[in-house]
Homo-oligomer: A and B are copies of this chain.
């Protein structure tokens, strides 16, 4: 593969070829609210925070993007950014220029379809994650996660990261998650070997 063709494999080669990488120091801004949009970004490494600041100086975090995440997709369809993006750590981002992607959307139906498909899938998983946060009990939240992420056998879940990562994803402290998993295992609802969890029959 050509070096230029790294990153998001759901984008067509021409769009990926137009991508530009940029290195950021902690605290350095990627763009500011009101600035002219130049495209959307993919985080290669580090983390970037999107922040909205109101007149009274209060800040509100809209998103924290880590390696692999994309950000500011909506800016493709708007002339100006509507929030600030600031590197929270040393970070590398890849810019996919607006013009390249919009041109692809116009002239290349396959790319348009792939782009829409990715966004639709993101909407789906975000809705699911949000729905999970409506569950109060830690145990039911874990059940929800396991049920939805069970593999082809409908019972086995291989965690994509550490238990701490999962705890953050579930909106629990890691302590609460450890305890919950321990209890579920003790009561026979699951069996566990490291980050591989198997759901057992209910009842």
Contacts and interface: CB of A to CB of B under 8 A. Distances in A.
A14 interface: no
Contact of A155 (B55, B130, B154): B55
Interface string A115-143: 11101111110111111011000000001
Copy tally for this chain in the complex stands at 2
A62 interface: yes
Given A121-B74, A123-B73, A154 B55 contact: yes
A120 B119 contact: yes
For chain A, the bracket of interface size reads 35 or more
Contacts of A99: none
**Chain A interface, DSSP helix/strand/loop, else mixed:** helix
A144 interface: yes
A50 to B, nearest CB: 8
A58 interface: yes
Contacts of A117: 74, 76-77
Interface of A: 52, 54-64, 73-74, 76-77, 102, 105-107, 109, 112-113, 115-117, 119-124, 126-131, 133-134, 143-144, 147-148, 150, 153-155, 171, 199-202
